[in-house]
Structure 1
């Protein structure tokens, strides 16, 4: 009835089916933390890991808008699984914008054939992993934080700092590489199955052919800066899906279980004018966030399709609707996941019901990229016409 996916799209139909399966034990898995191994295998079996791989390389050739709507559906039930699926896409596509077309094609084909689940060890702000060139290969030592999905991944997009030049190097390696280890030490109160903790490197060998080749003599060419757009779009749709899921779950509880407040003067909780107003407000905010998110999906599809022809002006113009949608979705999700308790009642705080997980997950995720800076970027552009400067986390 509300926030309905386009079921004429077979990939979104699959996503809805998986979402409903994930919902069956999402509360228990959130409490347990650890690895969502069964859900990870179900996504593999569905073929959705190949969703964005071009058809000529064995994939479904779908645009980002389809993949991110899948993220949104998953997040209605389980934002950890949604996060992992979304970051799989950004890591998988990293070679497409950061290396040569030939190398990207090889990785696409290998990933499609092997049905690889990708994760990132490429945190832009961490310089805690260094490498030294030793004749015909690199040797890496150190660690990487915030390595979402690494605890269940098949293949990794990694970055390190060259000890000699200080340059940041990108590569892709198998998760089974000797000396590499996912410590699975993530202990936040939200996003508890994302494995977003630390990975350690002890004399990890990286072959020359695994290093991303430089596609352009201009390392900051606009197209090379699109991965942060993708990552922010993943977060945006995790926020939005979580808000939608929380609102729908709260609605069901209010209809079936909530009792009217003793002084409300009504026999049914849903007839209380206060309850009606709060739900009306939260639903309207979520609808607005959904509209902004859908607009942002179209923007991302367009700039991605431009490829190396993308200009700095086009990139800058695209940054604004993406930032605005991200900031609004995050704030909306925080509002929805907190305020639903006002109109569901004391009994809705039961651990068995698990409504708190929606807020905990959003609160944890929004802290990775504070809304304040997104909103400032939008405001400064509105005042001056100057778009934000591309960065690793923008």
Structure 2
């Protein structure tokens, strides 16, 4: 199947927003307002787009028009210069309306700032200029459960070969993050490469129950080249990893950063489910006429009020915890962006445990809410045309990304033994 033959949404449907969003916001509140505007657009036909399951070219075009792809980028290149704390909240807002597009935004913000974490200062600057000034969307073929891509050196270039079962957003991306191990070593290399090239082939096999518009299918990489100067955190002359970049705790912040991306779109999906269900209940759910304490309206039913109240309380608590973790991680970046060696293993580990706590809570609460809303909406709410099911399907799909049981164990060791976790691909 060629890229041209894959059914895709048409970017022209959102062309009118180019004039409306002609300039990027200039404050944190304005950026979050922009994210809510994007969510309002996506909410209009989210259920229909989910069922059609087309490649999200229009939706990525909408993110580009809105400026949200530039939210974390430097102002001198046209970016918003916002913190991750704001970025996480923007992801959450978009995910309330469409979990798939919230996820794409989150992954893009992570991959577009990868050089800031594991690259040299020069590489970070050059990469940010490339991405922000061109308004590029960035995908990533970095699935640690698969074998690493194989990297060989050829003069001034490195060559990637291999495949991955999962690759989020790559089909609709301008740049793709590749990661592999250099032949003859145990050393990993990240690099960004143009997506549209002969050596990158997508399987177009993402036909899952949830997050259907994320293009998270397989990818094959064959003889894809990048200059040694683009090997993030490596010295191009000696072809060695730079200890002052890659062998310090700061570089491993990439992992809790993406884990908190996950939790923010989990939370957004769950809040979106409750808000969607509440509108349905007030408009369409009927009171139960055989309970012996009959009510005129579903909104007078004790069990419905009790369930909504409980869901609301738990989501508020989850949101407060998620915001606290976002603040902790964001502060670490802002305090140490120019002094990376100031981050200790203990600092990094304590932030990781804030993030692990959020992962546990948003998973548990999110699954409870997205499945439980059917109890307070009624049998008719299961109709495909309603679209309430997409919230649970989206959340159930991604919460299987890595077992939350391991996060609970990790937190148990922290609580009982005061041990911070060793950095891994999932910690």
Q: Which residue in 1 is equivalent to 2:265?
A: 238
Q: Residues 148 and 179 of structure 2 are in contact (CA less than 8 Å); yes or no, is this contact kept in structure 1?
A: no
Q: Which residue in 1 is equivalent to 2:24?
A: none
Q: Secondary structure at the match of 1:202?
A: strand
Distance 1:101 1:188 in 2: 39
> What are the equivalent positions in structure 2 for 1:8-47 lying under 5 Å apart?
9-47=29-67
Taking structure 2 as the reference length, what is the TM-score of the superposition? 0.88
Q: Which residue in 2 is equivalent to 1:137?
A: 157
How far off its partner does 1:217 sit?
4.2
User: Does residue 1:222 correspond to 2:249, yes or no?
Assistant: yes
Q: CA offsets per residue over residues 266-289 of structure 1, 9 Å max, x none?
A: 111111111111111111111111
Q: Which residue in 2 is equivalent to 1:289?
A: 318
Distance 1:231 1:225 in 2: 11
State the superposition RMSD in angstroms: 1.5
Q: Which residue in 2 is equivalent to 1:198?
A: 218
Q: Pick from 133, 136, 151: which aligns with 1:113?
A: 133
Q: 1:128/1:34 Cα in 2 relative to 1: closer, same or farther (>3 Å)?
A: farther
User: Does residue 1:368 correspond to 2:401, yes or no?
Assistant: yes
Q: Residues 154 and 175 of structure 1 are in contact (CA less than 8 Å); yes or no, is this contact kept in structure 2?
A: yes
Q: 1:321/1:166 Cα in 2 relative to 1: closer, same or farther (>3 Å)?
A: closer
How far off its partner does 1:57 sit?
4.2
Moved more, 302-311 or 228-237: 302-311
Q: Residues 264 and 322 of structure 2 are in contact (CA less than 8 Å); yes or no, is this contact kept in structure 1?
A: yes
Q: Pick from 34, 37, 59: which aligns with 2:79?
A: 59
How far off its partner does 1:10 sit?
0.9
How far off its partner does 1:162 sit?
2.2
Q: Secondary structure at the match of 2:402?
A: coil
What stretches of structure 1 of length at least 5 have no aligned partner? Answer: 1-6
Distance 1:360 1:271 in 2: 29
User: Does residue 1:186 correspond to 2:206, yes or no?
Assistant: yes
Q: CA offsets per residue over residues 8-56 of structure 1, 9 Å max, x none?
A: 7111111111100001111011112231111111110111211101224
How far off its partner does 1:138 sit?
2.2
Q: Pick from 277, 285, 294: which aligns with 1:258?
A: 285
How far off its partner does 1:356 sit?
0.5
How far off its partner does 1:373 sit?
1.2
How far off its partner does 1:361 sit?
0.4
Distance 1:226 1:190 in 2: 28
How far off its partner does 1:132 sit?
1.7
User: Does residue 1:387 correspond to 2:414, yes or no?
Assistant: no
Moved more, 160-169 or 27-36: 160-169
Q: CA offsets per residue over residues 262-309 of structure 1, 9 Å max, x none?
A: 223111111111111111111111111111111111011112122302
Q: Which residue in 1 is equivalent to 2:296?
A: 267
Distance 1:166 1:312 in 2: 21
How far off its partner does 1:129 sit?
2.0
Distance 1:213 1:228 in 2: 16
Q: Residues 149 and 163 of structure 2 are in contact (CA less than 8 Å); yes or no, is this contact kept in structure 1?
A: yes
What is the total number of aligned residue pairs between the two structures?
Answer: 388
Distance 2:62 2:379 in 1: 36
Q: Residues 127 and 161 of structure 1 are in contact (CA less than 8 Å); yes or no, is this contact kept in structure 2?
A: no
Q: Residues 381 and 387 of structure 1 are in contact (CA less than 8 Å); yes or no, is this contact kept in structure 2?
A: yes
Q: 1:8/1:103 Cα in 2 relative to 1: closer, same or farther (>3 Å)?
A: closer
Distance 2:280 2:56 in 1: 26
Q: Secondary structure at the match of 1:120?
A: strand
Distance 2:380 2:41 in 1: 26
Q: CA offsets per residue over residues 194-237 of structure 1, 9 Å max, x none?
A: 11111111222222222213353473411000111111111111
> What are the equivalent positions in structure 2 for 1:343-354 lying under 5 Å apart?
343-354=376-387
Q: Residues 76 and 242 of structure 1 are in contact (CA less than 8 Å); yes or no, is this contact kept in structure 2?
A: yes
Q: Secondary structure at the match of 2:192?
A: strand
Q: Pick from 344, 351, 358: which aligns with 1:325?
A: 358
Q: Secondary structure at the match of 1:81?
A: helix
Distance 1:186 1:129 in 2: 21
